Chains A and B, each alone.
Chain A
Amino acid sequence: MAILDESVIKDTTKALLNMVKEVRLVLFTQGVECSYCKETHQLLEELLTTNKLLGLEVHQFESDSDAAKKYGIDKIPAIAVVGEKDYGIRFYGIPAGYEFSSLLAAILMVSTGKHKITEAGMKFMDGLKKPVHLQVFVMPTCPYCPKAVMLAHQMAYFSDKITADMVEISGFPHLTQKYSVQGVPRTVINEKWYLEGAAPEAMVMKKIEEAIKHA
């Protein structure tokens, strides 16, 4: 049975009509002991049918550890959205519900080069000297979450110093413990710094500045 219904395929096809350059979805999966690996794989297979510029590359997480290392993948299912280069855009867990749009937005951004980062934001990121890792914890039913995810992914796209993960919490309960996530979206910056809610760009930048200063 198809995972994407007809109307979603139709809307997706329409949305992706604007694609310009090829985008490769690099999936890390495994046959057993992985919640939503199978569904995520099927989702990407069906997504592939909506635009010829989309490509899929599948790696087995355990047996293909070189690839996992190359892409910095530490949990599954994982999707890296790769264009002319790897921008550090990742999805951990299935991008379902409202997060499906975050996946489409990342694909479009990588394909068209269009993002909505402000002048001030670009200037700030140009000045970054140290690496920044953003993990945005989400729930597929959370309407505020894609905003936080899309912003983080845009920042990763723009800056070589930034990598950004969407993490769908139901697949990774140990991480909700580790980062004491009790509400979504919650953005974790470089493991130790936290931001609650879908914060505007300026607020995220300020928090990053704080995280770097006190690192």
Chain B
Amino acid sequence: MLNFSVNLGSDADSSIVYDLIIIGGGPAGLTCGLYAARYKLRTLMIEKAPMTGGQLTTTEWVENYPGFPEPVLGAKLAKDMENQAKLFGLEIEYEDVIKVDLAPKIKEVITAENTWKARSILISTGSSPRMLGVPGEQEFSGKGVSYCATCDGPFYPDKTVAVVGGGNSAFEESLFIAKYAAKIHIIHMLDKFQADQVLIDKVKANPKIELITNTVVTEFDFDQDPRKVILKNTETGKSSELVVDGAFVFIGAIPNTKIFEGQLDLDHGYIVTDQDHNTSQEGVFAAGDVEAKELRQVATAVGDGALAAYKIHKYLDNPEL
């Protein structure tokens, strides 16, 4: 079944001062955009990818977002969120932010193409896949080592792949890859998995997927044929080899906050916020996965985005501003 997705920037006006600029178009940003637009704040979203949705676009099915007893496609959920926000006037531009100036009252967001100005900023830049940092990984990134199942899963019909990680992403994406691959080895460093039990049960019931615990990957030896992943058992210290055609790495994320360094308080790279989503800079708010917090889900991002919009609305209402 073919589908067609329309994602083109709106004709935003870089000569005006927006009430709010949202940097990053994942679920947190889209929800904030919806609420802000309904408060009649002139709101511009700037997204670096050519479509909104953030990590929703790199997962196939979303099973734990309330209201969808049948799993919903990540890409569809994202598109629906976007359409709903646009209905109320959210503007979206697809540009890559390279610099921000957050301290002045009128804040600046600079992309390769434009300088955008606003009275308040919401940062919802989310996070990017974390790399393992072992030999061979960088070299074969995109050439056998992948971080996106919806992108590269179909390259492995009837093949054998390794999936590194033990959380929800590793398990969900393994189930997606299993539609193509003949054999999947999930390699996890601990003896217990962090994934939700319902996912663990599903994976265990899938005859294509095998679980390897207490094991770390020390190298991607992909230079020769056959390709091998070099493993090390964390209990015995013994090394072993696993012959594969490719590998996927899902070991968590790193926050996308490089451009905010020095301007905002960060904790291990994540933006420090209070319960109202204020950052250390007045008029700058943060929501979603980019915040220093414990749980990072679509459902939590959406809640963050809604509350942030409410607080931004109140902040902008201050007559002294």
- Which residues of A pack against B, CB within 8 Å? 3-4, 8, 11-12, 15, 18, 39, 43, 94, 96-98, 100-102, 104-105, 108, 116, 118, 139-147, 150, 170, 176, 180-184, 186, 196-197, 200-201
Contact = CB atoms under 8 A, between A and B. Distances in A.
A102 B50 CA distance: 9
Contacts of A97: 2-5
Nearest to A145: B151
Contacts of A140: 2-3
B11 interface: yes
Interface of B: 2-8, 11, 49-51, 53, 57-58, 75, 95-96, 112-113, 141-144, 146, 148, 150-152, 154-155, 246
B144 A182 contact: yes
A12 B6 CA distance: 7
Nearest to B1: A96
B113 to A, nearest CB: 5
Given A98-B51, A101-B6, A146-B7, 14 more contacts: A4-B4, A8-B6, A98-B50, A100-B5, A101-B8, A105-B50, A143-B49, A143-B58, A144-B49, A144-B151, A150-B50, A183-B155, A186-B142, A196-B143
Contact of A197 (B3, B6, B11, B142): B142
B142 A98 contact: no
A65 B148 CA distance: 40
Given A98-B51, A143-B51, A183-B152, A11 B246 contact: no
B143 A139 contact: no
Nearest to B86: A11
Contact of B4 (A100, A144, A145, A150): A100
Contacts of A147: 49-50
Nearest to A195: B142
A197 B95 CA distance: 17
Contact of A11 (B6, B57, B95, B150): B6
A26 to B, nearest CB: 20
A96 B6 CA distance: 10
A197 B152 CA distance: 12
Contacts of A3: 2, 4
Contacts of B7: 98, 101, 146
Contacts of A98: 5, 7, 50-51
A19 B138 CA distance: 42
Nearest to A102: B50
A97 B246 CA distance: 25
B142 A96 contact: no
Given A143-B58, A146-B50, A108 B151 contact: no
B114 to A, nearest CB: 10
A116 B8 CA distance: 13
A182 B142 contact: yes
B177 to A, nearest CB: 13
A118 B57 CA distance: 28
A183 B146 contact: yes
Contacts of B50: 98, 101-102, 105, 143, 146-147, 150
A100 B6 contact: yes
Given A98-B7, A180-B143, A183-B143, A39 B112 contact: no
A44 to B, nearest CB: 12
B51 A146 contact: yes
Contacts of A200: 96
Contacts of B113: 116, 118
A8 B113 CA distance: 28
A27 to B, nearest CB: 16
A12 B112 CA distance: 26
A15 B11 CA distance: 10
Contacts of B112: 116, 118, 201
A96 B4 contact: yes
A144 B146 CA distance: 13
Contacts of B53: 143
Given A182-B246, A186-B142, A144 B148 contact: yes
